[in-house]
Structure 1
Amino acid sequence: MQEALLGILDFVARFTGGHGGIDDEVAVYFVLAGAMWLNLLFFALWRRRNEANSREALLVLGFSAGLARELFMLAMAIGQKALMVDPRHLHAFFPPVEHVLSGVATVIVAAAFMRYLTGDFFLARNYLGIGITLTLSCYIATFSWWADYITTNPASKFGQTWCDVLFHTIAALLLVFPTWHLFRHRTGWLRNIICFALVCFFLTETLKLVDIAYGERYEYIFTPIRRSFNLIGIYVLGYVYIREQESRRRRATAKVVESEKRYRTLVENVNMGISLIDGNNRIVMNNGYLEKMFRKNAEKLTGRFCYQEFENRDECCDNCLGVEAMTTGRAVSREVERILDDGEPSGLRLSAFPVFNEQGKATKFIKVVEDITDRKRAEEKIRRLAYYDSLTGLPNRPLMMDRLSQAIRHARRHGEVVALLFLDLDRFKDVNDSQGHRVGDRLLQEVAARLSGCTRESDTLARLGGDEFVIIAPGVRAATDASLLADKILAALAEPFTLDRQTLHIATSIGIVLFPSDGGNGEMLLQRADMAMYAAKDRGGNSYRFFSAEMNTRAVERHELEEDMRQALTNGEFFLMYQPQVNTGTWKVVGVEALVRWNHPRKGVILPSRFIPVAEETGFISKLGRWVLEEACRQGAQWQHDGLPPLQMGVNLCARQFTHEEIVGTVSDVLQKTGLPSELLEIELTETMLMDSETAVSTLGQLKALGVRLAIDDFGTGYSSFNYLKHFPLDRIKIDQSFIRDIGQSRGNGAIIEAIVAVARSLGPEVLAEGVETEEQLRYLMSITCADIQGFYFSRPLLPDDVSRLIRESLPGFGTHHFTN
């Protein structure tokens, strides 16, 4: 056993130089160590070239230093074997250089692994600088003295021993810090293995110091152990490095696979078509959404030219997105409209992104196709909402003003005339309030259609809102052309409208202005056309008027009237007058009709014909109507309190009041507040308020439930007057004064009056004739037994005190004499 152990030690000693000197077996050790360093160097160089990893640079330097040390040792062995080097010169040069190369290699490798594993570049740099500085300092301090000493004392080992102690001590100390740092700051199996390798290098240095301490008597034992530790350390570092690189490669591959999976998931699920196209404009791949978007399968798209599929061309476009992207190296995009294979139009946004190869040259590009059809439709819808009327589809005010400005600029350059017609439907609010907004909207649509039929292709028909329309007619020759257009419009709207089996009639008032005579800009023309329109309305509507200077003055007065009216109710400027209603059988006053007047502080008493239309247009009529109802009921209750006989108090309701859902509650509150008996209140309505029969029947029923009387005013002017007598709970009908005025002049009117009285007698409502002004009219009405009369022949409207005096002074049998003029 002892002999076998001694044989093994002898072999190891010969192989590793344990007997001193450098022979063939020792050269094998250096070749093996150099091969290991060389293998690590090649691997590090390959990694650095393929992955461009900056952390490999220090490793390349460390592995190069280790390889250089082993090559140097091998060169010394070959030189000594071939007697190419004088042994004295060899011993004078060899130990310092060997120690420097060994120390530098150890320091660089330790620093490289610190940088590689911890990522702390500054710590590794500082450690490397200190280690190389100390190693080179030792070399500089010993080389000159060492060479002189060996040359003088070739058989002495003192110099070599002193030099070895210095170098190996520095090397051992330099290995302590990286070993301690990695052990403290690194976890896992990798830390333990790296620390084990560094410990092997540490033992390589310290065992040499132990050997020197024993006078190198046991060199044959320590040297093979030291060099075995060195080989183990190199092997372990190589194993760790290659294993870590393989682990990193697997992790990188896994990340690439995961990234590819995420990329594929993203590409397949994004609501955009994505296609990879090569430099020849052929489609390499595409996602499923692109196939769905173009209604084509992958086989039909792959390999095809992109300009055939995306641009519907047989050759590459002059402004190809992909070519531009690859040429400029940046993303480009464009919006286009395409007709797909199924014939459907589609809005597309095409974007191209360059794809670069390893040399930084764009060889492919990614084309992204986004379906923007819905966005385009939404934009068009927004544009239409911004510039077109949603009900009629006509241009709205902003677009109309823009076109008017364009027409004015064109006319100014070419010396032409532009006509502007401002239309406002007559009594449209009555239709809207009585029939409901649904019927009103349909009527506006029908009116817009008829107006479109009256205009030229070069004209602009616009709706400003409500029942107002504007027509811009460029290139007219004179005012005659505008008059012809207005006549055409009036004739078109004169035809009845049939909506929901109901026949409606509507007319319009038209104001006309001309550029450049009536104004130099759009706002002025529109304002003056509005004035002219109101002038047409003042003439009874269903007509047109051209603007004149006098209209501007009237418009200013109308504006002042509107502003003053808003303060008149608060200031108590409105008051009521009452026109008596007389029974021809008893010749007694049986009722009165409340009529509102305005006592203007500067203009005196203003009649309703001037301010009621303005109140209706501004909406002030609701407040004014509530005040009239409450004041009339209060006065009626006061007359009862004063002991006068019961009098019917007639109060007119406007369409806005009647269609308001709170009218029943309003009447009930007023009756309760004023104390007037409900049977003495008579609500007077117009025929247009009763057109929406369902709503009217419901409202009239609720009013009748309160106990008030219901009368229809201006009876006979509508188109279905007699139907109202059958369907509605009316207590009285008031024959319109237009029929009374023509008694004795038109036999037709007399026949109508007789028919009204006869039908009313058979159905139950009382009959009252309005506007009786002559004795002839009175005698005729008495001859057909029309019981109740109202008009100037008997009395004009009176103040409350005059009404009281009239009733007290009247005597039975008054005969045909009127009460007061």
Structure 2
Amino acid sequence: MDHHMEHIYGTYDLTLVIFSYIVAVVASYTVLDLVSRISTTEGKRRWIWLLFGAIAMGMGVWSMHFVGMLAFTPSVPVAYDLITVGLSMVVVIIASFIALSIVGRRQVGLKQLLSGGLLLATGISAMHYIGMAAMQIAITYKPFYFVLSIIIAIVASITALWLSFYFRTGNTNGKKLKKVISGFIMGAAVAGMHYTGMLATVFHTGDKEDHLSGVLLDQTFLAYFIAVITLVTLGFSLFGIYLSNRMASKDSEMLASEKWYKSLFENNNDGIITVDLQSQIIGFNEAMSKLTGLPGEWFQNQTIDAIAPFIVEEERKRSGEMFRKSLGGEMQSYETAIIHREGHRVDLSVMNVPVEVNGEVVGNYIIARDITEEKHSKDKIQHLAFHDELTGMPNRRMFNQVLAQKIASRSGKFAVLVIDIDRFKMINDSLGHTYGDLFLQEVSRRLGQLLAGTNVMISRMGGDEFTIVCDSGDEHRDVAALAEQMIKVISHPYRLKESDFFVTASIGIAIYPDDGEDGVQLLKNADTAMYEVKKNGKNGYHFYSSELNEQLRERIELEADLRRAIAGDQMYLYYQPQIRAGDSQMIGIEALVRWKHPTKGVVSPGAFIPIAEETGMIFELGGWVLREACRQMKEWHKSGGPLIPISVNLSSQQFHQSNLIAFIKEILDETGLEPQYLELEITESMMMDATVSTSILNELTDFGIRISLDDFGTGYSSLSYLKLLPIHKLKIDRSFVRDIAENTNDRAIVATIISMAQHLSMDVVAEGIETKEQLDILTDYDCKKIQGYYYSKPLPAIEVEEAFFVPLRALPDNKDS
């Protein structure tokens, strides 16, 4: 049937071909911009943009194809069926609408991209081939190029949609350039599909053109007309998108700014209330509800005055003033407090920030932060800065502050009392710091209880030293009465480690302004008076007097001299024999330290031993005494004896030093004295902690050293210690012996001690025997071992040797003595 058909060839107008490509590029760029606009809008506006986008896109692609078709001039005139032409335009617009609605979302997956691309490719391909069908001429298609055109349409569509999705966000210059380049690539792909489709088309002469019912079109004029109209339309589209983007950007910025502000307002940890000039609350956040305990509904339709009853009474007036000032345009910052709805106090740091619009104050932000914990911490730090952590009493800093204020106020006479606990060091050394702390807390509690309700400030200066400031007027009697009361409450026994401990107090008193016009001088003079009490046997009080200054100066001098004496060769030992009363044989000897001062002569041990103990020089002094005594005893042994032990006093500090056993062993090794010839004299005060004492004494005893309990009966220790501890000898204190002839109580005590010692298989030595009468009473009580002036006063080594050892050596049985 087609045997008479002939192929029709035509030519392309290159200008129109280029023009069609430009239309494709502009259309592609428009699509890239449109998708970003569609993806950022919602609701009704989205559908308007979708319709507008689909028309712009469809028109762009259609006009490119139509101009491309018109660019081809066949060798015979060809009419067009305008209804079919219109149909091809409708098809591509519908396809564009569906494709854009699929990919114009915030999130696009591969599935949406492929389905949208295929739909668009179907629309473009249908539009092209329906458009070709509008030509009233016989047409056949080359299969290869036909399929290739479809494939190009699919690739071009998917690429176009992927690029539009990729470029839809951001407006940076880099992205714009990439969008333009993408437009050229997409334009080439769309144009490529059309011209591949045209390449697939073969025109024939035949029946169809014989019945021309269509319209013959002016190829060149119509092509240019459609292209220009399309370009103008697309140009308006681009301009519309540009304006819309600018407006949307502004809207977006305002919206973002509003969201930022709203987020800051609503999620702020600080409570915020917005108040207008009529004091009406127009806004609040959840934090303010939490801060006050008031529900959100409570703030609605309220004025700021409704909050006033919740502010603590003492802060209401000031808070109101601050609010009024801020309405005048001045920011206010202050601290206040409210009562939470549940009843507890909440401390707040508040800022009143004026809100200005066009230079006029239109309202106020009230921003409140909860600083209860912070304030509590500050108060705690403040309290700790001025109070002693252990006892809770005012500390040295607070005492100095109060003292300075009292002096500055010139309010008349007042007294400063310095209290030192006698024997505290002994408790601390023997029981340990934990019990030392418990003891100090109990002392503080008693003193605090005694002084409660009085106009007296007591503080702990550190260690076991307390100070008091109290008004004295012209009467010393009141201050003296207070001192006596304190001594009394301190002297009651303390229950520590299941035992009772007894301590005393030494109190020094200085009066302002007689004894000093500034705090430093007053404290120094009260200290001086306190040391005077200690020197005179402790357990009392003393008012400062100018004579004491001289004594203190002498004491300070003595301390400096003692350091030099220990380092030099001013110290020496005297020895006092211990005698068996029955046959006047020497059964032991005690080493006693002496100090020969270069200018003051011989200084009494009672004057320098306390200084050595307070300053820590006792370790060096005690070590020297022990070494020298052992050396001398060994020398006497070498010279023919007698083989008797030497007694050396051990101070409390020495007894509790960690390396005591090793130190004594070292001295014995160095001097060559056998351990059984060393007797260490300890006091009851060292026995306070039986656990510690037992372990030390057992170690010493195991090594062969003998233990003697000195001054027995004068301390406060329990008799149960005697059966627990490895003690070989008891020494009856001279205070019981002194009046033994006249005082029946002393005789009873001595008889009891001797009897008890014998039952416990201990030796007994009586000290301070000065008369025959004393000696007779003791021998009657079966106390055979004596130490005192009756037999011999303490003597230098040479005199002991001449008076006692030389005669003994002449006896044939001296080794058995």
Give the direction of change, closer, same or farther, for the CA distance of 1:504–1:307 in structure 2 (3 Å limit).
Answer: farther
CA offset at residue 611 of structure 1?
Answer: 0.9
| 2:411 equivalent to 1:400 | no
CA offset at residue 276 of structure 1?
Answer: 3.8
CA offset at residue 555 of structure 1?
Answer: 1.0
| 2:494 equivalent to 1:497 | yes
| 2:179 equivalent to 1:189 | yes
Question: Which residue, 760, 765, 770 being the options, matches 2:767?
Answer: 770
CA contact (8 A) 2:265 2:272 kept: no
Partner SS for 1:594: strand
Q: Aligned partners of 2:803, 2:674: CA distance in 1, in Å?
A: 22
Q: Aligned partners of 1:261, 1:224: CA distance in 2, in Å?
A: 53
| Residue equivalent to 1:427 | 423
Structure 1 window deviating more from structure 2 (656-665 vs 545-554): it is 656-665
Question: Which residue, 479, 482, 486 being the options, matches 2:483?
Answer: 486
Give the direction of change, closer, same or farther, for the CA distance of 1:504–1:281 in structure 2 (3 Å limit).
Answer: farther
Partner SS for 1:572: coil
Q: Aligned partners of 2:557, 2:696: CA distance in 1, in Å?
A: 37
Q: Aligned partners of 1:258, 1:641: CA distance in 2, in Å?
A: 104
Question: Which residue, 752, 756, 779 being the options, matches 1:755?
Answer: 752
CA offset at residue 756 of structure 1?
Answer: 1.0
Partner SS for 1:422: strand
Give the direction of change, closer, same or farther, for the CA distance of 1:263–1:681 in structure 2 (3 Å limit).
Answer: same
1:85-137 deviations in whole A, cap 9, x for unaligned? Answer: xxxxxxxxxxxxxxxxxxxxxxxxxxxxxxxxxxxxxxxxxxxxxxxxxxxxx
| Residue equivalent to 1:672 | 669
| Residue equivalent to 1:327 | 328
CA contact (8 A) 2:335 2:349 kept: yes
**TM-score between both structures, scaled by the size of structure 1:** 0.67
| Residue equivalent to 2:468 | 471
Question: Where do 1:113-262 residues align within 5 Å?
Answer: 187-189=177-179, 231=232, 235=236, 238-245=239-246, 248-249=249-250, 252=253, 255-256=256-257, 259=260
Structure 1: give runs of 5+ residues left out of the alignment: 1-181, 197-218, 815-821
Amino acid across the alignment from 2:734: Q
Q: Aligned partners of 1:632, 1:265: CA distance in 2, in Å?
A: 86
CA contact (8 A) 1:586 1:813 kept: no
1:130-168 deviations in whole A, cap 9, x for unaligned? Answer: xxxxxxxxxxxxxxxxxxxxxxxxxxxxxxxxxxxxxxx
| Residue equivalent to 1:514 | 511
Q: Aligned partners of 1:749, 1:813: CA distance in 2, in Å?
A: 40
Give the direction of change, closer, same or farther, for the CA distance of 1:187–1:642 in structure 2 (3 Å limit).
Answer: farther
Question: Where do 1:260-339 residues align within 5 Å?
Answer: 263=264, 266-267=267-268, 270=269, 272-309=270-307, 312=310, 319-330=320-331, 332-339=332-339
CA offset at residue 453 of structure 1?
Answer: 4.4
Q: Aligned partners of 2:342, 2:657: CA distance in 1, in Å?
A: 54
Q: Aligned partners of 2:271, 2:634: CA distance in 1, in Å?
A: 82
CA offset at residue 692 of structure 1?
Answer: 1.7
| Residue equivalent to 2:602 | 605
| 2:420 equivalent to 1:436 | no
Amino acid across the alignment from 1:339: I
Partner SS for 1:401: helix
Q: Aligned partners of 1:489, 1:728: CA distance in 2, in Å?
A: 35
CA contact (8 A) 2:640 2:809 kept: no
| 2:417 equivalent to 1:417 | no
Amino acid across the alignment from 2:675: S
Structure 1 window deviating more from structure 2 (732-741 vs 662-671): it is 662-671
Q: Aligned partners of 1:624, 1:726: CA distance in 2, in Å?
A: 32
Partner SS for 1:509: strand
Higher RCO (CA-CA < 8 Å; seq separation 6+): 2
Give the direction of change, closer, same or farther, for the CA distance of 1:365–1:724 in structure 2 (3 Å limit).
Answer: same
| Residue equivalent to 1:639 | 636
| Residue equivalent to 1:570 | 567
Amino acid across the alignment from 1:685: I
Structure 1 window deviating more from structure 2 (555-564 vs 317-326): it is 317-326
Amino acid across the alignment from 1:788: K
| Residue equivalent to 2:554 | 557
Amino acid across the alignment from 1:784: Y
CA offset at residue 297 of structure 1?
Answer: 3.5
Q: Aligned partners of 2:439, 2:173: CA distance in 1, in Å?
A: 92
Amino acid across the alignment from 2:620: K
CA offset at residue 610 of structure 1?
Answer: 0.5
CA contact (8 A) 1:307 1:317 kept: no
Partner SS for 2:567: coil
CA offset at residue 306 of structure 1?
Answer: 4.1
Residues paired across the two proteins, number: 605
Partner SS for 1:713: strand
| Residue equivalent to 2:738 | 741
CA offset at residue 289 of structure 1?
Answer: 4.1
Amino acid across the alignment from 2:395: N
Give the direction of change, closer, same or farther, for the CA distance of 1:265–1:794 in structure 2 (3 Å limit).
Answer: farther
| 2:362 equivalent to 1:366 | no
**TM-score between both structures, scaled by the size of structure 2:** 0.67
Question: Which residue, 621, 624, 628 being the options, matches 1:627?
Answer: 624
CA contact (8 A) 1:634 1:676 kept: yes
| 2:699 equivalent to 1:725 | no
| Residue equivalent to 2:806 | 809
Partner SS for 1:554: helix
| Residue equivalent to 2:389 | 390
CA contact (8 A) 2:266 2:285 kept: no
| 2:336 equivalent to 1:346 | no
Question: Where do 1:103-122 residues align within 5 Å?
Answer: none
Q: Aligned partners of 1:311, 1:671: CA distance in 2, in Å?
A: 84
1:173-195 deviations in whole A, cap 9, x for unaligned? Answer: xxxxxxxxx99995232688899
Q: Aligned partners of 1:715, 1:184: CA distance in 2, in Å?
A: 103
1:657-679 deviations in whole A, cap 9, x for unaligned? Answer: 22333323333333333332222
| 2:440 equivalent to 1:450 | no
1:758-801 deviations in whole A, cap 9, x for unaligned? Answer: 11111111111111111222222222221321112222222233
| Identical pairs, percent | 35
| Residue equivalent to 2:48 | none
Give the direction of change, closer, same or farther, for the CA distance of 1:300–1:743 in structure 2 (3 Å limit).
Answer: same
Question: Where do 1:577-616 residues align within 5 Å?
Answer: 577-616=574-613
Amino acid across the alignment from 1:661: S
Amino acid across the alignment from 1:708: I
Structure 2: give runs of 5+ residues left out of the alignment: 1-171, 187-219, 812-817
Give the direction of change, closer, same or farther, for the CA distance of 1:303–1:614 in structure 2 (3 Å limit).
Answer: farther
Give the direction of change, closer, same or farther, for the CA distance of 1:259–1:546 in structure 2 (3 Å limit).
Answer: same
CA offset at residue 409 of structure 1?
Answer: 3.1
CA offset at residue 301 of structure 1?
Answer: 4.5
Q: Aligned partners of 2:620, 2:271: CA distance in 1, in Å?
A: 63
Q: Aligned partners of 1:709, 1:510: CA distance in 2, in Å?
A: 39
Give the direction of change, closer, same or farther, for the CA distance of 1:263–1:187 in structure 2 (3 Å limit).
Answer: farther
CA contact (8 A) 1:291 1:297 kept: yes
Structure 1 window deviating more from structure 2 (511-520 vs 258-267): it is 258-267
Amino acid across the alignment from 2:703: L
| Residue equivalent to 1:380 | 379
CA RMSD of superposed structures (Å): 3.5
Give the direction of change, closer, same or farther, for the CA distance of 1:373–1:593 in structure 2 (3 Å limit).
Answer: farther
Give the direction of change, closer, same or farther, for the CA distance of 1:810–1:793 in structure 2 (3 Å limit).
Answer: farther
Amino acid across the alignment from 1:299: E
Q: Aligned partners of 2:287, 2:696: CA distance in 1, in Å?
A: 60
1:298-338 deviations in whole A, cap 9, x for unaligned? Answer: 334455444544762699977354443342253x2211233
CA contact (8 A) 2:641 2:809 kept: no
Structure 1 window deviating more from structure 2 (685-694 vs 727-736): it is 685-694
Amino acid across the alignment from 1:808: F
Q: Aligned partners of 1:534, 1:311: CA distance in 2, in Å?
A: 60
CA contact (8 A) 2:472 2:479 kept: no
